[in-house]
Amino acid sequence: MKLAIGSDHAGFELKEAVRKYLISKNIEVDDKGCYSLDRADYPDFGHAVALSVEAKQVDLGIVICGSGNGINMSANKHKGIRSALCWNDEIAALARQHNDANIMALPARFMSVEMAQKCVDAFLSSTFEGGRHADRLKKIDC
């Protein structure tokens, strides 16, 4: 499995913790930045992760900013991207099971590293259930 990950400065420390956690699980990680606590704009990194998922260069993506909202909105501007804001492991599992999310957005200012790891595990171990959920997904694109 290969994932793309990206964050702004507010999400940098959590991104680093999640990146290291993924590597410890033998998951290949394409780090799209940012690479320090210096000011960085979340759309740049949300778009970079979304482009990698969109082009099928990676299987899934993880994006992180302070609230998770801005980077999530940026990623969702891309056709075929279904980025879900996740703040606990149940939401992360449901994002994959019911919404076939291909990117998970995390709110760095509102979660611990431990909860982020639980979200990662739930997101990566869950699969899309299809059925009635597939019918609903068809209605999302305009």
Which residues form the catalytic set?
65, 98
HEC states along the chain?
A: CEEEEEECHHHHHHHHHHHHHHHHCCCEEEECCCCCCCCCCHHHHHHHHHHHHHCCCCCEEEEEECCCHHHHHHHCCCCCCCEEECCCHHHHHHHHHHHCCCEEEEEHHHCCHHHHHHHHHHHHHCCCCCCHHHHHHCCCCC
